[in-house]
Amino acid sequence: MVMTCILETLLVFVACQLTTVAVQGEEEGASYIWKTGEFSACSQTCDGQRERRVVCQGRKSDGSTFDANLEDCNPQVKPVSTKSCGSECPEYGWLKEKYGKCDATCSTNDGKGNRTRRVWCSKKVGTHRKVTKDEHCIIALRHPKPPSRKSCHVKCSVIVGTCR
């Protein structure tokens, strides 16, 4: 439904703002209205934008219409041409295994070794989670990848005595 209004008070501005707004223009007997197109689909699922065309249209007293300059319509009641959309932003996080057993032995490195684990970056959208590039987590979480290795030590027994 298209409304055409001749604006006399600020209250009428607000009432007409959602559809079509008219104001008295420069041309004798003409009124000027904002016309809007449909909003586009959201540009992306996370922090996207929807756009639509907003134009100023003149209407003569005989009912014919013509393209008008944007300055001819009242800028205070111009409909928005963009709006935010896309709230399905992914949630990033690190998936970490538990550390494995120490790989040290008493016969190498005096019982010093390492424990390892696998660490992945994961992206959650809705209820689904999938592995993605580490860079995504580093950027989104603003901290480096957790370590996948840590040092460990095993106690080695020293047998003192004589062998026979």
Q: Give tens-digit pLDDT for 65-100.
A: 999 999 999 999 999 999 999 887 888 999 999 999
Break the chain into its structural domains and give their ranges: 10-87, 91-153
Mean pLDDT confidence for 10-31: 49
Does residue 1 register a pLDDT over 50? no
Task: Find the mean pLDDT for residues 112-140.
Answer: 91
DSSP one-letter string for 67-107: E--GGGS-GGGPPPSEEEEEE---EEEEEEPPP-----BTT
pLDDT digits (tens, 9 = 90+) for 45-62: 888 999 999 999 999 988
Of 21-25, 85-89, 107-111, the range with the highest mean pLDDT is 85-89
Give me the chain's average pLDDT, please. 81
Please tell me the predicted confidence (pLDDT) of residue 10.
Answer: 31
- pLDDT at position 86 is 85
Short-list 107, 99, 98, 117, CA closest to 154: 107
Q: By the 8 A CB rule, do 164 and 154 touch?
A: no
